[in-house]
Amino acid sequence: MILPVAAAALSEENDDLTFCHFGPKILVQDPVVDPSDDDECRGTAKIQAVMWKCTKADLVETQTGIFKKELVKQATKECQQLCRRRDRKCSGRFEGKAGCGLENNREDAVIMGQRQGCRKDCDGPAFAYCSLYNAGFRSKDPEYMADARPNCRCYKTSK
């Protein structure tokens, strides 16, 4: 399994990670405005979000659960703000799935920690990772994101 890592997270000298955790980082992709006669707010977007941390191997599943919760919370907030920026009468509904689009288990986290270079001063040697979509974060990854369903829907508030 290859997990995307923020380019800034790797040191140039030895490819070790320059910090022990990252995120939540949010990226809005493919925003679409599709107004109708009765809903000028209507539209969608894909909200990608990622978090990772070098942690102890026996805490990978716990850490991933924490990431899932935080990423959904932040993506929900971003969706609402995105739609609200269209017009004050617009609202947003985040419709992401409950789990990560891409995550790793304990065994993969240990391997990735060695491969990515979790430093000795981090909480542990295992690279726990979660992203909302099964796609990278450094780039837009159009080949992965093109067929992905939008997870943010904008609509007109009934008020």
The structure tokens listed for 58 are 């026996």
Q: What is the pLDDT of residue 35?
A: 83
Q: What is the pLDDT of residue 140?
A: 58
Nearest CA-CA partner of 76 in 151, 157, 137? 151
| Average pLDDT per block of 10 residues along the chain, 159 residues long | 43 61 92 88 94 96 96 96 94 89 93 89 95 73 80 89
149 SS3 class: coil
The structure tokens listed for 131 are 């992203």
* pTM tops 0.85: no
Q: Is the bond preceding 35 in cis, omega lying within 30 degrees of 0?
A: no
